[in-house]
Structure 1
Amino acid sequence: QSYTLKVGVGSNDLCSDAFIGGQTIIVNALDNIEARRYMDSYALNRN
């Protein structure tokens, strides 16, 4: 499934602990460094 919502601080509805915790692997294609850093940090801190 693809999403077009903004990823970053405040996007916890999309990137919740339940969502990230339920994934075996996360692949993303983000168009800016802020979003990439946010997802990297979020995924690593929740693992």
Structure 2
Amino acid sequence: METYTAMRHFADSWGLLAMAIFFVGVVLFTLRPSAKGMAKDAAEIPLKED
């Protein structure tokens, strides 16, 4: 099997699965209950005066 064909087959199957799992992980990480405080702090950064 040619190297390009093998790499493309790998990317088409396992690469897509890895990207989907990463995306779901990032979404779940940002929607966890403890992230609410950090998101509020980040949203108020432009309003803070130093």
- Report the TM-score range of the alignment, normalised by the length of the smaller protein: 0.3 to 0.5
- Return the structure number with greater relative CO, CA threshold 8 A, min gap 6: 1
The TM-score with structure 1 as length reference comes to 0.33
- The structure carrying a bigger helix percent of its residues is 2
The TM-score with structure 2 as length reference comes to 0.31
